[in-house]
Amino acid sequence: MAAPRLDVVGLGYCSWDYLGIVDAIPEFDAPTVSLADFATSGGGPVATALVTLARLGARTGFIGAIGDDDAGWQCKQAFVQDGVDFQRMRVHTGVRTPICMILVQSGSGRRSILCYRGTCPEVELEPADYSYLALARFLHLDGHHVSAAIEAARLMHGIGGTVVLDVNRPRPRLDELLPWVDVLITNAYFPGAYTGQQNLDHAALLLQQTGVRLVVTTLGEKGCKYFTAEGQWYVPGFSVPVVDTTGAGDAFHGAFIYGLLQNWPLEHTATFANAVAALNCTALGGRAALPRLEQVFAFLRSTGRWDPTIALNQ
């Protein structure tokens, strides 16, 4: 029997997160501070984007690495719960899974993030990974496991697939990876930091000259901008009661890929991604409020910012 097709394979970082809400970050040796709330959640840019896609109804698979510790078991169970395929995930004996400790400011949702990167070795692609990647239409990367990412991106191009890269800061060997990237989704910091051009519009133009055909920059609660060879467009965000902004960018990336899978116009794809990111900010944890597809459409209809001729399922 042939292996089932996948919409998106992600290769990247996976962590287990511990989150708490505080009014302010205490100084060292300050009296004990009580958390207003506490949660745990799966994390990691590619991992959370894949969960976002799975909740929206896409078929997703993950290539990455965890340890055989409790945090790794939790990461694996989170994938099981949301239906993300992990048959190509490496589970290493005697190593430690990445974890993040996140303090969230009460009222604003702003965060301070402390990450322990774990002791998992770098992923190296194996023949079974090539076959796995060939099942997918899209490859989603976050700049981790860079040698494997470059190799996987080349492979995806060779079979006519689409490569999406989520990047939030300059990383080693990006100059080798970017020529194989079709869609680059960044935060507002990266374009200037990478190109040296602080004007966002000019920096996006320089990024397109690396071969990227679509550059998308997230702007937090303000929404996003996207840049193509034809021009640039701003798409406003949505106002919601914010609890925690953890994972908002990752949710945006997953939702944007979902729109690309549906072949929606880019403006609608960006509006949809802004909505998913906003909804994900309404609960504590990077995945706690990731919505189902019907929830997103109900929210968009309530705002009047969706073309009713675009069906729920394409």
CATH number of the domain residue 222 falls in? 3.40.1190.20
pLDDT of residue 4: 66
Would you say the C-alpha torsion 31, 37, 43, 44 has a positive or negative sign?
Answer: negative
Q: How many CB atoms lie within 10 A of CB 112?
A: 11
Domain-embedded: residue 129: yes
Residue 144, CB-side half-sphere exposure with 13 Å CA sphere: 21
Cβ atoms 63, 9 nearer than 8 A: yes
Token code pair at residue 283: 């609960």
> By three-state DSSP, how is residue 11 classified?
strand
Token code pair at residue 97: 């899974």
Token code pair at residue 242: 């914010």
Domain-embedded: residue 309: no
Domain-embedded: residue 173: yes
Domain-embedded: residue 203: yes
Domain-embedded: residue 39: no
- In angstroms, the CA 15 to CA 7 distance is 23
> By three-state DSSP, how is residue 73 classified?
helix
* Torsions phi, psi for 137 (to 5 deg): -90, -30
Residue 238, CB-side half-sphere exposure with 13 Å CA sphere: 27
| pTM: predicted TM-score of the whole model, two decimal places | 0.96
**How many structural domains is the chain composed of?**
1
The one-character DSSP state at 85 is B
The one-character DSSP state at 100 is E
- In angstroms, the CA 194 to CA 109 distance is 27
Cβ atoms 85, 53 nearer than 8 A: no
Buried/exposed code over 30-53 (b: 16+ C-beta within 10 A; e: otherwise) = eeeeeeeeebbbbbbbbbbbbbbb
Closest of 137, 287, 274, 161 to residue 217, by C-alpha: 274
- In angstroms, the CA 81 to CA 54 distance is 10
Render each residue's pLDDT in the chain as its tens digit; 314 residues: 456 699 999 999 999 999 999 999 889 999 999 999 999 999 999 999 999 999 999 999 999 999 999 999 999 999 999 999 999 999 999 999 999 999 999 999 999 999 999 999 999 999 999 999 999 999 999 999 999 999 999 999 999 999 999 999 999 999 999 999 999 999 999 999 999 999 999 999 999 999 999 999 999 999 999 999 999 999 999 999 999 999 999 999 999 999 999 999 999 999 999 999 999 999 999 999 999 999 999 999 999 888 777 755 44
Question: For residue 241, what are the domain limits?
Answer: 6-15+44-89+125-303
> By three-state DSSP, how is residue 40 classified?
strand
Domain-embedded: residue 204: yes
Question: CB under 8 Å to 45, separation ≥6 — which residues?
Answer: 12, 13, 142, 166, 168, 249, 250, 253
Question: CB under 8 Å to 167, separation ≥6 — which residues?
Answer: 142, 143, 174, 184, 185, 186, 190
The one-character DSSP state at 27 is P
Amino acid at 121: P
Closest of 198, 188, 193 to residue 222, by C-alpha: 188
pLDDT of residue 3: 60
- In angstroms, the CA 123 to CA 148 distance is 6
Domain-embedded: residue 311: no
Cβ atoms 187, 168 nearer than 8 A: yes
Q: Which pairing describes strands 6-11 and 60-63: parallel, antiparallel, or unpaired?
A: parallel
Domain-embedded: residue 135: yes
